[in-house]
Amino acid sequence: MGVRLAPATLLAGIAVAVGTIAVYQWWWGLLLGAAATLLLVLATPPGWATRLPLALGFDGAVALLAVRRGEGDYLVASTGRGYAVLGLALVVLMLAIATLPRPGGKIPRLAGETTTPE
């Protein structure tokens, strides 16, 4: 089921990034964008096909919107609020990577089976 959620979480990450960048220049917009982003990241279950695509969508959109535009200006300004958005992108990526399940996962054990080495 998690793999089917990957496109939806990717699009959710892109959407919340565009929304955050649209309103971050106002103090309330930065707080609203950060709160919405962190709540979405924490509400999404951790995993390779759920939280990681969300973070990659968010970070990819922020990175794409932070580069210089054809007119010579930037959507993410080099101000304190702009750096806060870039820092938020790093926090989202770190949360997603830190909560990934370990490779191999848990090995199911039968009832009554012991874990002592032989």
Stated pTM of the model? 0.80
Per-position b or e across 70-98, b if 16+ CB within 10 A of its CB:
eeeeebbeeeeebebbeebbeebbebbee
pLDDT tens, residue by residue, 45-95: 888 888 899 999 999 999 998 887 777 666 777 788 889 999 999 999 999
Name the H helices within 24-100.
27-43, 51-66, 80-98
